[in-house]
Amino acid sequence: MIIRDRPSGFRLFLLLRGSVMPRILPSLIVNTLIATLVTLTHGDLFDLKITLTTIPFTLIGLPIAIFLGFRNNAAYDRFWEGRKLWGELVHRSRSLSRQCQSLIAYPEPAAANLGLADIRVRMIYRAIAFAHALRHHLRDSKADNELKDLLVQPEWQQIGKSSNKPDFLMRRMGLDLRLCLNEGRIDPCLVGQIDATLSSMASAAAACERIKGTPIPFSYTLLLHRTAYIYCFLLPFGLVDSIGFMTPFVVVIVAYTFFGLDALGDELEEPFGTEANDLPLNTICRTIEINLRESLDDEHVPKPLEVVDYCLT
């Protein structure tokens, strides 16, 4: 995620970090070259005069702009829903830590130096592991190294065989909760509170999987992509007779707008990736880890991630 002050004035035209310009630059150059060639030949292509008026471009341009806006709204809804789900996960993780320490009885006070032998500490560390595992699950990356220090050895060996590591951790927390109930460490009337927190965390994870696994229909994206490109490549033929040498300048502005909206929709559609405009899942997971380790008075609390080159990962 890009974190920086809003630029003003001429600086707006010089920013590339977080811009869609690198993605659309090749198409923009090709479109500009076509517009320049059409302007120099004044619409004559191989001794054939291609005559177009601005009327069809007016009729087609407005629907394209509307549908591009609709697609971007749908893509941003996915982005914002993903952010709300991870915010919910932060809240529920903190609640789980508080509930484990206040509702589950144990002969010794919960502290990090008791290690994973304390069932409360074990569940809190699993909540940290759950956030990291979900991040890697959504990004299709490996989480083994980050989870090793958060789980007991047998559990860490078993999780490597699981295709859905967040679900594996959630089942383990459920088993520990049942163990506490069977051993009388928690009042049966209070079990539902912790179980509701675990269910909320599982629900947030499932919703993130839904966003990742259900993209905007490909045929809709493909239709807009093709229509926008055809429109921009033919636009010089409709403008050259009316505005002459200004054709390339007008075409590049229109193409930048249409190509940029198209590329922006592609970026926002998948909010859990590692690009500059994606959600900062590393930072959110680090926040969860810091908060939960501090709740245990852990000595090994990591530092918050810092913004690097205006980007928070």
**pLDDT, tens digit (0-9, with 9 covering 90-100), for 54-108:** 788 888 888 898 999 999 999 999 999 999 999 999 999 999 999 999 998 875 5
The answer to whether residue 62 is domain-embedded is yes
**What pLDDT is recorded for position 146?**
82
The answer to whether residue 1 is domain-embedded is no
197 and 260: one domain? no
Q: Is a pLDDT exceeding 60 seen at residue 112?
A: no
Whole-number percent of the chain with pLDDT over 70: 90
Query: Which range of residues forms the domain containing residue 151?
Result: 83-214+279-295
90 and 189: one domain? yes
**What pLDDT is recorded for position 45?**
60
Q: What is the mean pLDDT of the chain?
A: 87
Contact assessment for residue 77 and residue 211, using Cβ atoms and an 8 Å cutoff? no
253 and 288: one domain? no
Contact assessment for residue 211 and residue 271, using Cβ atoms and an 8 Å cutoff? yes
The pLDDT-based confidence of 209 (bands split at 50, 70, 90) is: very high
Contact assessment for residue 278 and residue 1, using Cβ atoms and an 8 Å cutoff? yes
Reported as a single tens digit per residue, the pLDDT across 259-310 is 999 999 988 999 999 888 899 999 999 999 999 999 988 888 999 888 887 7
139 and 188: one domain? yes
Q: Is a pLDDT exceeding 80 seen at residue 169?
A: yes
Find the helix or strand (DSSP H, E) in which 44 lies. strand 44-45
**What pLDDT is recorded for position 100?**
92
Reported as a single tens digit per residue, the pLDDT across 8-53 is 766 666 677 777 888 899 999 999 999 998 888 875 665 666 667 7
State pTM to two decimals.
0.88
End-to-end CA distance of the chain: 6
Calpha distance 94→85 (Å, rounded): 14
The answer to whether residue 6 is domain-embedded is no
The answer to whether residue 10 is domain-embedded is no
199 and 186: one domain? yes
- CA-based R_g, the chain, Å: 27
260 and 223: one domain? yes
Calpha distance 70→182 (Å, rounded): 53
Over residues 187-191, the mean pLDDT reads: 91
The answer to whether residue 14 is domain-embedded is no
How many angstroms separate the Cα of 282 from the Cα of each of 2, 136, 167, 305? 14, 10, 20, 8
Domain count, the chain: 2
Task: State the Cα angle at 61 between 35 and 21, rounded to 5°.
Answer: 55
**What pLDDT is recorded for position 116?**
63
H helical segments located in 183-280? 188-213, 218-243, 247-269
170 and 286: one domain? yes
288 and 142: one domain? yes
